[in-house]
Amino acid sequence: MQAYILGIDIGTGSTKAVAISLTGEALGTVSEHYPINSPEPGYSEQDPKLIWDAFVKCLSGITAKLGAPQAVGLSSAMHSIIPVNDAGDALYPMITWADARSENIAQALRATEKGASLYHNCGTAIHPMSPLSKLLWLKDNESEIFNAAHKFISIKEYIWFKLFGVFEVDYSIASATGMFDIVAKQWSNEALDLIGIPASKLSQPVNTTYYRANVNQSVVLTTGIATQTPFVAGASDGACANLGSHTTGEGIAALTIGTSGAVRITHSKPFYNYEAMVFNYLLDEQTFVCGGAVNNGGIALNWLLKNFLKKENPGSADYNALFAEIAAVPAGSEGLIFLPYLYGERAPLWDTKTSGTFFNVKPAHTRSHFLRAGLEGICFALNDVLKTLEDASGEITQVNISGGFTSSAVWTQVLADITGKKLAVLQSEDSSAMGAIYLAARVIHPQSYEQLTKVEHQQIIQPSENNHAVYSRMFPVFKKLYADLKDTMHLVDGWE
């Protein structure tokens, strides 16, 4: 059988295992889904046991076809928290990144000097997604669980404990907790003091290329993995995605639009911007992944499809019809501008009370103009994050794109024209799983690293100069509109 490395990405909706040969050939993919529960408005919880079961099924599914891998690299979603006992069993449901129960705590902290100091120390936005806010909530609202917990861990540490019986966390996942000093690479005393816990309540931090073998015998028996197979700790899904999509050089950014969206660059030092709360997560000891995530990606486009075209669960024919209609309208939608903040906004506004707005509506505007302006608004908002990063890091000349929106040539061209940047679409498997494979290869198979990580094929999308000129005139107006309307939006918050 062919020698291969396995990358496993433990995502929010599913876990996905991707097998790649030492020469970079895709050998197989297995994925397993699990539910997200919302027992109360704003809550987002999962059962970590179900995620472990999915992880085991993914491992077994691959080894049944390909035998044991040379190494396994791990990637996982950020910001989850699980209070556990000393046997690694959950004492409470896992709270996911999307959970908003600590909104008031985060908002109050953000307005203080302590909030700014914590951001500068730990690199994570002061936001309900952050485990820091979640632990403050647990302390106030579930004090018995909070006091009884042996440790507070993420889903990656939960799985690592089941594999090896130790509590260890990679620098990358630790750096997204809001409790980790990203420069000293140790738990932040400032954060621990605020929560009122000692560092022993958290796992031992390790580098992202740290590995262990001698996996638990029960895992060997159930999954077909070899006892000696090294498991590399790996990084978070966002950091792995930068590595997996070859976005680690200077002047290059990664931009994803799926349900939500994000822009990320890598750099040797963090970029601090408290107003935009640029995140600084570690990829490895020397590399920071800096960027911002937006709420209103594909989810805002789907709102347009539902309400203007009556498509509730759009399939590819519906997307094709939508983009054909959009393509018939000139760039700039003849002056119609859309602020896409239907679901509030994270970077760079950090405003849960903002909302969507169509501006400058004229009699000549038709449904198609509203659709095109809607799409342009989503891209302007991502351009806003890109520009914030560019201001801090220096000129960005290439943007590597990924996510569901890359299926549309119209959408990707609008993004190229708005940003004025060359876009590259990489033909690869899941980029987070690929990043985990690359981290594993770096330490276990350095001799194969170059061949394995070679970029085989990339499709390039060049911006149109004319359209970019139109959008360059509109972008400052887009920004000013939000600034002008912000207070009025807040006045009507909750009127729906």
What is the smallest separation between the CB atom of 323 and ligand ADP, expressed in angstroms? 7
Nearer to ligand ADP, 262 or 386 (CB): 262
Q: Minimum Å distance from CB 487 to ligand ADP?
A: 31
Question: Which of 28, 356, 404, 420 lies at the binding interface for ligand ADP (CB under 6 A)?
Answer: 404
Is 78 near ligand ADP (CB under 6 A)?
Answer: no
Window of 135-143, 235-243, 294-302, 386-394 that interacts with ligand ADP by CB under 6 A: 294-302
Question: Residue 433 Cβ, how far from ligand ADP at the closest point, in Å?
Answer: 13
- Cβ 406 to ligand ADP, closest distance in Å? 8
Alpha-carbon span 62 to 226, nearest angstrom: 13
Closer residue to ligand ADP (CB): 157 or 430: 430
Take residue 42 and report the two structure tokens written for it.
Answer: 């704003």
Residues from 237 through 276 that contact ligand ADP (CB under 6 A): 258-259
**Edge to edge, what strands does the sheet with 287-294 contain?**
279-284, 287-294, 261-267, 252-257, 398-402, 422-426, 458-461
Q: Which is nearer to ligand ADP, 183 or 321 (CB)?
A: 321
Does 319 interact with ligand ADP (rule: CB under 6 A)? yes
- Residue identified by tokens 């020397």 is 286
Q: Does 405 bind ligand ADP (CB under 6 A)?
A: yes
For residues 460 and 324, the answer to whether their CB atoms sit within 8 Å is no
Question: In angstroms, rounded to a whole number, what is the distance separating the alpha carbons of residues 240 and 171?
Answer: 12
> Is residue 408 at the binding interface for ligand ADP, with CB under 6 A as the rule?
yes
CA distance 360 to 370: 11
Q: Does 403 bind ligand ADP (CB under 6 A)?
A: yes
- Which CB, 248 or 295, lies closer to ligand ADP? 295
Beta carbon of residue 81, minimum distance to ligand ADP (angstroms, whole number): 22
Piece of 405-413, 415-423, 466-474, 478-486 that binds ligand ADP (CB under 6 A): 405-413
479 C-beta neighbours (distance < 10 Å), count: 16
Q: Residue 351 and residue 358: Cα distance in Å, rounded? A: 18
User: Is residue 444 part of the contact set for ligand ADP (CB under 6 A)?
Assistant: no
Q: What does the alpha-carbon distance between residue 19 and residue 7 come to, in Å, rounded to a whole number? A: 6
Nearer to ligand ADP, 316 or 447 (CB): 316
Choice between 117 and 259, CB closer to ligand ADP:
259
Q: From the CB of 338, what's the least distance to ligand ADP, in Å?
A: 15
What does the alpha-carbon distance between residue 137 and residue 130 come to, in Å, rounded to a whole number? 11
Tell me if 314 sits within 8 A of 163, measured CB to CB: no
Task: Confirm or reject binding of residue 298 to ligand ADP (CB under 6 A).
Answer: yes
- Choice between 225 and 300, CB closer to ligand ADP: 300
d(CA 140, CA 146): 9
The residue (of 12 and 130) whose beta carbon lies closer to ligand ADP is 12
Choice between 269 and 306, CB closer to ligand ADP: 306
Q: Is 209 in the site for ligand ADP (CB under 6 A)?
A: no
Q: Is 302 in the site for ligand ADP (CB under 6 A)?
A: yes
Selected from 186, 222, 307, 407, the binder of ligand ADP by CB under 6 A is 407
CB-nearer residue toward ligand ADP: 304 or 336: 304
Cα torsion for 372, 375, 376, 380, to the nearest 10°? 170
Contact in structure between 45 and 142 (CB atoms under 8 Å): no
* The one segment of 65-73, 111-119, 184-192, 298-306 that binds ligand ADP by CB under 6 A: 298-306
Rounded Cα gap, residues 274 and 116, in angstroms: 7
Residues with Cβ < 8 Å from 132, sequence gap 6 or more?
A: 118, 122, 124, 126, 177, 178, 179, 191, 194, 195
Q: Give the angle subtended at the CA of 117 by the CAs of 112 and 123, to the nearest 5°.
A: 120
Degrees, nearest 5: CA angle 207-48-124: 45
How many residues touch ligand ADP under the rule CB under 6 A: the total is 13
Residues that bind ligand ADP in the complex, under the rule CB under 6 A: 258-259, 298, 301-302, 316, 319, 403-405, 407-408, 411
